Amino acid sequence: MTDTDTGTGRHDDSAEAVGRLYDAFGEQCAERGTDADDDTDAGNFGFGDQLHFGYWESPQEELGLAEASLRLTDMVIERLAAGPGSRVLDLGCGIGGPALRLHARTGAAVEGVTLSRDQVDEARRAAGIAGADHAVRFRVADARRTPFEDASFDAVVALESIMHVRDRSEVVAEAARVLRPGGRLVLTDFFERGPILPEQRPALRMLLEGSMMSLSRAGDYPDLLRAAGMTFEEIRDISRHSTRRTFLEMARVQQRAAAESGGAADWPDPCAEMAAVDGFGYLLLTARRVDA
């Protein structure tokens, strides 16, 4: 498999490009609006305010994408071991759903960063509505070089954001820098789980290029963490609970949107084909900053 097949290391991961991608995604969501009568298709292409893949206990489980995404957020929150008095950094915070959930469930204060100006505006609005803007703050900043001091956070989360950064070691190193000794990093990432069949490669390439991301190799993480002064707590392949069903749910929303708009293409693409790509994996990783 070559770099071009998986998009590894070839996409534009500049702050400007990724910021524009998510500004554009927000605009599309706003244009589509929210169908309040149908909670399986509510705004944001079915994701709700958690802009990441879902987690289902079994393929048969009757749970919509928004609820399944919230469940994955809760699994991440459990692993952060945060509580009242904790300070948590959310690298790639989206429109603030996970940070607000984290604060509501644990009492932790949260700083969220994203490259999208529009997402910051939306996340701040959501924090105000939730009455949490004293404890949950958002700003535009790059996860590779945040403006925060060394060892100033008890935990760091990167929920489905690191796949946009070509050199993942830069994000892990930044997380390690801002974490206090013993503090946890919890992240999710897309990885190359197995062979991608030749006929599946065009769909994968379209997804990776269109979304400006690459697949990691799960086997790279031990060295990457060690180099940053971190140790493993857990790495889980959650693909069977997540990827196929998420793509199917997204394809359903896309198809409905296309039908409603007279066949216009929607973003992101091409979900229906990706549902069959077993080699596209999803991992949940917990690591700890080693004691000084």
Ligand X SMILES: C[S@@+](CC[C@H](N)C(=O)[O-])C[C@H]1O[C@@H](n2cnc3c(N)ncnc32)[C@H](O)[C@@H]1O
Q: Which residues are catalytic?
A: 160
Min dist. Cβ of residue 199 to ligand X (A):
27
> Contact, 153 vs 179, CB < 8 A?
yes
With contacts defined by CB under 6 A, name the span among 60-68, 110-118, 215-223, 231-239 that binds ligand X: 110-118
Q: What's phi and psi for 183, nearest 5 deg?
A: -70, 155
Q: Does 122 bind ligand X (CB under 6 A)?
A: no
Q: 37 by DSSP, 3-state: which?
A: coil
93/179 with CB nearer ligand X: 93
Q: Does 165 bind ligand X (CB under 6 A)?
A: yes
Query: Quick one: which of 82, 108, 126, 159 contacts ligand X (CB under 6 A)?
Result: 159
Can you read off the two tokens belonging to residue 234? 């857990």
With contacts defined by CB under 6 A, name the span among 2-10, 32-40, 47-55, 244-252 that binds ligand X: 47-55
Q: Does 52 bind ligand X (CB under 6 A)?
A: yes
Q: Does 51 bind ligand X (CB under 6 A)?
A: yes
Q: Does 116 bind ligand X (CB under 6 A)?
A: yes
With contacts defined by CB under 6 A, name the span among 85-93, 101-109, 241-249, 269-277 that binds ligand X: 85-93
Q: Does 161 bind ligand X (CB under 6 A)?
A: yes
Bridge pairing between strands 109-114 and 87-91: parallel
Measure the CA–CA gap between 124 and 96, rounded to whole angstroms: 8
Measure the CA–CA gap between 192 and 201, rounded to whole angstroms: 12
SS3 letters for 162-230?
A: HHHCCCHHHHHHHHHHHEEEEEEEEEEEEEECCCCCHHHHHHHHHHHHHCCCCCECHHHHHHHHHHCCE
Instruction: Using CB under 6 A, list all residues that contact ligand X.
Output: 18, 22, 50-52, 91-94, 97-98, 113-116, 119, 142-144, 159-161, 164-165
